[in-house]
């Protein structure tokens, strides 16, 4: 079975009916080798935290004008994008920009899912109240439930990350946004048992990433971040995995699963290839178009499918307490 047939079978058999029914016939997924079904967009590299393992560091302070950003997102939608994930940097350093992007993508482009990844430090309830109508998923990055550990990692200096995390989770429930948690497994937290706190938070999805080295970003002491001291070995990764695998929301991703399985778009609207070797970028989609830019990088669509890249990502249907409908191969 070729990759196009795999995606079509997945779409018809594993993607929930509530998601499929919302899709028009002209946006059905076909061959993902030329359709950017799910895109991770980094509108800015700026961040107020200094996480020691960061693989997308603040090497520039550039932010694309909103008109150009909208133009690029329109091109992506026309090329087949169905889900947009906005990351950084810290996206909530630009709350007005987020509002503009969310409203445009939902009301004009009619994207079926928009998510944001944040460290949670700058989110305010007023923003959640005013923007939840356009936001499907809010993911908060938290690497430990121990304040001292978070400080060692570089996630702020006040030790209140966990308090803010539970507050944001409450706002998500209040305003009907799916709550997600992201954790980077590293030398400071691999032996931590997070079960009780995760059960209290009840995220619909908890992504646990093995700490990753990206050449050109965090691979040595000459970079803005040096993640070499944060790397866990396979045994440590497996210990963390075994301790938490019974949780229904747990979605582990080791280095092999992550390599080239994400379609990444930087602040200039260039696709980034963070696979083997030094990081490379395509030409901007604003200059050469989506298809030509995608052909300049590697996007491992098989790995994208295997790690569950297509799932119930619209907020209309809750996954709480229900069976997870993800790709399992």
Catalytic residues: 47, 51, 54
Distance between CA 185 and CA 153 in Å, rounded? 11
Distance between CA 292 and CA 68 in Å, rounded? 18
Distance between CA 60 and CA 45 in Å, rounded? 7
* Cα–Cα nearest to 224, from 54, 100, 99: 54
Distance between CA 161 and CA 274 in Å, rounded? 29
Q: What is the DSSP string of 251-270?
A: EEE-HHHHTTTS-EE-TTSE
Q: What is the DSSP string of 267-290?
A: TTSEEEE-SSSS-EEEEEHHHH-H
Neighbours of 107 (CB within 10 A): 11
Q: Quote the strand ranges of the chain, DSSP E.
A: 38-41, 83-86, 113-118, 137-141, 178-185, 205-210, 250-253, 264-265, 270-273, 280-284
């Amino acid at each position: 079975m070729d990759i196009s047939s795999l995606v079509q079978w997945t779409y018809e058999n594993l993607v929930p009916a509530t998601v499929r029914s919302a899709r028009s016939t002209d946006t059905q997924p076909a061959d993902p080798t030329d359709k950017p079904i799910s895109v991770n967009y980094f509108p800015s590299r700026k961040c107020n935290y200094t996480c020691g393992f960061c693989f997308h560091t603040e090497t520039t302070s550039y932010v694309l004008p909103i008109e150009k950003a909208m133009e690029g997102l329109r091109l992506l939608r026309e090329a087949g994008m169905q889900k947009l994930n906005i990351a950084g940097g810290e996206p909530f350093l630009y709350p007005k920009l987020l509002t503009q992007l969310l409203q445009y993508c939902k009301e004009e482009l009619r994207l079926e899912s928009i998510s944001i990844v944040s460290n949670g430090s700058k989110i305010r309830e007023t923003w959640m109240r005013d923007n939840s109508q356009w936001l499907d998923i809010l993911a908060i990055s938290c690497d430990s439930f121990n304040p001292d550990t978070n400080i060692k990692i570089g996630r702020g200096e006040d030790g209140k990350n966990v308090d803010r995390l539970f507050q944001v989770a409450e706002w998500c429930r209040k305003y009907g946004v799916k709550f997600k948690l992201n954790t980077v497994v590293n030398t400071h937290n691999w032996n931590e048992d997070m079960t009780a706190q995760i059960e209290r938070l009840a995220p619909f999805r908890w992504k646990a990433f093995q700490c990753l080295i990206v050449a050109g970003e965090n691979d040595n002491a000459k970079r803005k971040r040096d993640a070499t001291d944060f790397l866990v070995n396979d045994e440590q990764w497996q210990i963390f995995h075994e301790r938490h695998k019974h949780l229904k929301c747990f979605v582990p991703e080791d280095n092999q699963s992550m390599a080239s399985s994400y379609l990444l778009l930087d602040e200039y609207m260039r696709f980034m290839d963070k696979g083997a070797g030094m990081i490379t970028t395509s030409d901007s989609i604003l200059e050469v178009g989506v298809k030509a830019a995608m052909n300049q990088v590697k996007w491992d669509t098989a790995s994208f499918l295997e790690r569950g890249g297509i799932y119930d990502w619209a907020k209309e249907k809750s996954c709480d307490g229900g069976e997870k409908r993800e790709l399992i191969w």
